A = this chain, B = another copy of it.
Amino acid sequence: MTARLLIHCPDQPGIVAAVSGFLTQQGCNIIHADQHATAKSGGEFFMRIEFERGRASGEILRGAFQAIGDQFSMDWSMSFDEVKRMAILVSKYDHCLLDLLWRQRRGELEVEIPLIISNHPDLQKDAEFFGVPFYHLPVTKGNKQEQEQRIHDLMVEHRVDFAVLARYMQILSPELVGKWPNKIINIHHSFLPAFIGARPYHSAFQRGVKIIGATAHYVTNDLDEGPIIEQDVVRVSHRQTIEELVRLGGDIERQVLARAVRWHVEERILVYENKTVVFY
């Protein structure tokens, strides 16, 4: 794995020269660089650089880069080979959970999965097969607050970097969401902003759409309104029943979620104005 530098700042001349000049002076080799400006001038500037560190340590590089970060008023971060730790929250549907576990096992997702949390016991055996601790935290009338507190504590205990809602059928409270900004990825089973909320496949069937989809987004306090990371669709017709929409949609859900998680793990996503810049 390589070092990564993520930058977001007001656009202005000289950023690329300053950053690439710095890395060259520090004996770092730029492997890949992506950038995006929201306007020809005066907009926002985003950059992601993959580089190989030279002799200088991460600490030294971070310290030395601070001057450039300040000069251009950058919101920036530098990472070195840390493998992210991901919690998975799930309910009863197995398809998104299994897909993530498979991909992690076969090395497609460079991530550690220290725990799986569910409000139902159904998927415990699957978790055990993959050797991941499974915590059953049922939700009852009245215990929602403690249950969420327990989720948060477990994530902290296990030093989790981010969480994935793999069809977790509970709405998270502003308290919990507020503690993990842009750190919780949800998969919604519709092509947002179409069919926000519950039972989107039923709504899609009622409306008679010819294409259904799925959307991976960061969770905010506005239901299904968070920054969209990825979407994909599949063609349907009058022949499909609601059950078949659910089946076809499930395949899209796990593909879209897997891509979003991969991009998050590889730090390819920058968020601004409730939108995402994804460098892939």
Cβ-defined contact, A231 with B209, below 8 A: yes
Cβ-defined contact, B33 with A238, below 8 A: no
A17: Cβ under 8 A from any B Cβ = yes
A173: Cβ under 8 A from any B Cβ = no
CA of A246 to CA of B33, assembled, Å? 24
Cβ-defined contact, A208 with B32, below 8 A: no
A150: Cβ under 8 A from any B Cβ = no
Cβ-defined contact, B227 with A211, below 8 A: no
Q: How far is the CB of A184 from chain B (nearest CB, A)?
A: 18
Cβ-defined contact, A102 with B106, below 8 A: no
CA of A191 to CA of B210, assembled, Å? 10
Report which of B17, B195, B251, B274 forms a contact with A17, defined as CB distance below 8 A.
B17
CA of A31 to CA of B36, assembled, Å? 8
Number of interface residues of A (CB under 8 A): 59
- The stretch of A19-27, A70-78, A141-149, A162-170 that contacts the partner chain: A19-27
User: Given A195-B193, A238-B275, does the pair A230, B210 have CB atoms closer than 8 Å?
Assistant: yes
CA of A275 to CA of B52, assembled, Å? 27
CB neighbors of B among A219-268 (8 A): 227-233, 237-239, 247, 251, 255
User: Given A191-B211, A238-B36, does the pair A251, B247 have CB atoms closer than 8 Å?
Assistant: no
- Which residue in chain B gives the minimum CB-CB distance to A232? B211
Cβ-defined contact, B24 with A32, below 8 A: no
Cβ-defined contact, A192 with B211, below 8 A: no
Cβ-defined contact, B213 with A193, below 8 A: no
- Which residue in chain B gives the minimum CB-CB distance to A54? B13
Cβ-defined contact, B209 with A193, below 8 A: yes
A95: Cβ under 8 A from any B Cβ = yes
User: Given A52-B40, A129-B129, A193-B194, does the pair A102, B95 have CB atoms closer than 8 Å?
Assistant: yes
- Which residue in chain B gives the minimum CB-CB distance to A98? B102
Q: How far is the CB of A174 from chain B (nearest CB, A)?
A: 21
Residues of A within 8 A of B (CB): 2, 13-14, 16-17, 20-21, 23-24, 27, 29-37, 40-41, 52, 94-95, 98, 102, 106, 108, 129, 191-195, 207-211, 213, 227-233, 237-239, 247, 251, 255, 273-278
Q: Which 5 A-B pairs rank lowest in CB-CB distance, beginning with the nearest?
A: A208-B275, A17-B24, A17-B20, A194-B194, A16-B20
A-B contact pairs, 16 of them (CB 8 A): A17-B21, A20-B20, A32-B35, A32-B36, A33-B33, A33-B35, A34-B34, A95-B106, A98-B102, A108-B247, A191-B191, A191-B194, A193-B195, A194-B194, A208-B227, A238-B275
